[in-house]
Structure 1
Amino acid sequence: MTAPEINRDTFKLNSGFLIPAVALGTWKSSPEDCYNAVKHALNVGYRHIDTARIYLNEASVGKAINDFLKESDDVKREDIFVTTKLCPCDYHDPETAILGSLERLQLDYVDLYLMHHSLAEVSGEGLKPVDEDGFRKHIPFEKLSYVDAYKVVQTFVNKGYTRSVGVCNFNVPKVQRLLEVSEIPPAVVQCEIHPYLPQQDLVDFCKEHGIVVEAFSPLGSTGAPLLNEPILVSVAEKYQVSPACIAISWAIARGTVPLPKSTNDSRIEANLKTIKLSDQDVELINNISKTTTKRYLNSKWRIDVYYSDAEFNPVK
């Protein structure tokens, strides 16, 4: 079967803005590699870049964007969707954190600002504070909760720092809690999602509440282990494309936004060339997780931060 036309959709956020359906992820990209990757991605048509304070490459992302805009005759700042994230060690002072991110990015605003995790971490001990056993050092919920931090983050929309706000690594109960207490609801929830970990309950909940889901590690994280999955290989052969194309296209078919990360020029280009899958092939890929379920990214916490249904008590 010949591959269908390239599909470059956008999704509409509950904030009213459009988000491009494929982003370049920059996690674990060194500053130099990140600059080159972002610059190349923009040159070949990407209009969505995802970074974070904790990635230590915001300055590279910003320089690449600004250099690209200086060289471009027809692309403006408002044409590029930029996401960065609030580090958990900065939950005590989100405003200073976002102003620092904007300075490093050399931007007046970002398009999306995400809370990176649902636990606040201690401040003053680096971006990833850990105890003597190597566990992340967090602040008790009753002293500083994600609800506290989000109430500050949502004010950044009216202050012009960001156009939309959201969260990363949150489960359904925690998103539900934010919907109950927020004035500006999350526009996006970003989590690890791929055929081995489809997180259907989260995707369905977010769709019901008008929230767009972003899928980080859509190829299964470092080394792209999903690319040898027999069903993906079979579907890729049918459409005469790569297994990576199938995994990314499957993410879009579900109404989610994949964030494939690469610093390789040819793979960056290939990851943008998604296709429209048949409903039967989407369902076939959906069924992969019924026999193989795997999460590739887990931080070392003493309690379940992301995915348990337990809610903290009290809630402010």
Structure 2
Amino acid sequence: MVTTSFKLNNGLQMPAVGLGTWQSQAGEVKTAVSYALQNGYKLIDGAYCYGNEDEVGEGLKEAFAAGVKREDVFVVTKVWATYNTRVAEALDKSLKSLGLETGNHDKFPTLPGGKRDVIHDYNHVDGWKQMEAALASGKTKSIGVSNYSKRYLEQLLPNATVVPAVNQIENHPSLPQQEIVDFCKEKGIHVMAYSPLGSTGSPLMTAEPVVKISEKKGVSAGTVLLSYHVNRGSTVLAKSVTPSRIKSNLEIVTLDDEDMKLLNDYSDDLTKKGELKRYVYPPFGVDFGFPDKSQSRA
């Protein structure tokens, strides 16, 4: 039986598949969110800095008006690095945009030369304390991290009162990040995978093991790649604004041991060749000396 949700360390159930909204265009996000929620999705992933949370909020409102229950929907937002010292303010802005507030161009600020303006000399542990305060305020039910490496988690956990419920990372067979996935599992931190298909131009859709499994199962290569995460025990974010694709992305299939071995062997082979591929490079990242850039950045 295919898993439809995963239990977080705080007891809440997180859906196994969610709709991603990063880079979804204006005029399309509202319809995509509303359609997804009315056709089986229970998880919407976004961020204030994506610049489309107002429209995501409109989609939520439309879906709720159509009968979708608010208590059944898991909505994820994120505090961008420029808000490390203002977590509560960032949360309030997102809640307002999403129409989920309980009570109000700073999204991607840049320096004169065009480089992202990010606070680098701020202790992320202090930022986490503000996240814990936001949880205690009742304005959010769960708190987690994104793009956290094993090293950053090891810095955070000894100083955390609340263990992160989730670590959202780029994840796919050509970037398995097994060390981080295993560490999160050991610590009870649920992994949420973004860019599960790689990215535009990614060879994953035509990779031999993916094609072999898709032919065996009679499903698309995309379904195989999304199912890889659910079968691995992770929530996966599938991004689309096309109704038919939004619906088909929920069609997760069970991958047997042979299927998973094919995909894991593919990952291992890429690792040995030094060909692991990252598609998303957060500008606030720190490379910890991994030349293949296979590790999560924090």
Q: Distance in 2 between matches of 1:305 and 1:137?
A: 21
Is residue 11 from structure 1 mapped to residue 6 from structure 2 by the alignment?
Answer: yes
Q: Which residue in the other structure is 1:107 paired with?
A: 100
Check whether the contact 1:134–1:300 (CA below 8 A) recurs between aligned residues: no
| 2:257 pairs with 1:274 | no
Establish whether residue 95 from structure 1 lines up as the match of residue 88 from structure 2: yes
Please state if 1:56 is matched with 2:56: no
Structure 2, unpaired ranges of 5+: 271-275
**Bigger shift: 175-184 or 232-241?**
175-184
Superposition deviation, residue 301 in structure 1 = 5.3
Cα RMSD after superposing both structures: 2.3
Aligned length: 287
Paired residue secondary structure (2:239): coil
In the TM superposition, residue 304 of structure 1 has moved relative to its aligned partner by 2.9
Compared CA separation, residues 35 and 222, structure 1 to 2 (3 A): farther
Write the deviation string for residues 176-224 of structure 1: whole angstroms up to 9, x where unpaired. 2221111111000000000100100001000001110010000112356
Aligned pair in 2 of structure 1 residues 303, 131: CA closer, same or farther (>3 Å)?
A: farther
Q: 1:291 & 1:77 partners in 2: Cα distance?
A: 44
* 2:120–2:284 contact (8 Å) kept in structure 1: no
Q: Which residue of 2 aligns with 1:81?
A: 74
Question: Does structure 2 retain, via aligned residues, the 8 Å contact 1:35–1:63?
Answer: yes
- Aligned equivalent of 1:139: 119
Partner amino acid, structure 1, of 2:84:
Y
> 2:110 is matched by which residue type in structure 1?
V
Moved more, 221-230 or 29-38: 221-230
Separation (CA, whole Å) in 2 of partners of 1:36 and 1:206: 34
Whether the 8 Å contact between 2:168 and 2:194 is mirrored in structure 1 is yes
The one-letter code of the counterpart of 1:299 is P
Matched residue type, 2:87 = P
CA distance in 2, matches of 1:106, 1:305: 39
Quick one: distance in 2 between partners of 1:31 and 1:302?
28
Report the TM-score when normalising by structure 1.
Answer: 0.85
* Partner AA of 2:132 in structure 1: Q
Once residues 172 and 265 of structure 1 are traced to their aligned partners in structure 2, the CA distance between those partners, rounded to angstroms, is: 37
Give yes or no for contact 1:227–1:243 (8 Å, CA) kept in 2. yes
CA contact (8 A) 1:23 1:48 kept: yes
Q: Spell out, residue by residue over 1:239-298, the C-alpha distance to the aligned partner (whole angstroms, 9 max, x if none).
A: 000011111111111111110111111111111000111011112111212233111111
TM-score of the aligned structures, taking structure 2 as reference length:
0.90
Equivalent-residue separation in structure 1 for 2:174 and 2:209 (angstroms)? 12
Give the structure 2 partner of residue 299 of structure 1: 282
Contact 2:81 2:119 in 1 (8 A): no
SS class of match (1:24): strand
- Residue pair 1:62, 1:105 contacting (<8 A) in 2 also: yes
Partner Cα separation in structure 2 for residue 302 and residue 55 of structure 1: 18
CA distance in 2, matches of 1:23, 1:302: 25
Q: Give the residue type in structure 2 aligned to 1:252.
A: V
**Kept after mapping to 1: 8 A contact 2:92/2:101:** no
Task: Please name the residue that 1:115 is paired with.
Answer: none
CA distance, structure 2, for counterparts of residue 268 and residue 170 of structure 1: 28
The answer to whether the aligner puts 1:283 opposite 2:247 as a matched pair is no
- Check the 8 A contact 2:50/2:107 in 1, yes or no: no
**Equivalent residue of 1:85, what SS?**
coil
Q: CA deviation at 1:128?
A: 2.5
Percent identity over paired residues: 39
Counterpart amino acid of residue 106 in structure 1: G
Distance 2:285 2:217 in 1: 45
Report the AA paired with residue 92 of structure 2.
L
Partner letter of residue 88 of structure 2? E
Distance in 2, Cα, partners of 1:53 & 1:282: 35
Q: Does 1:148 align with 2:99?
A: no
| Matched ranges for 1:206-217 at <5 A | 206-217=184-195
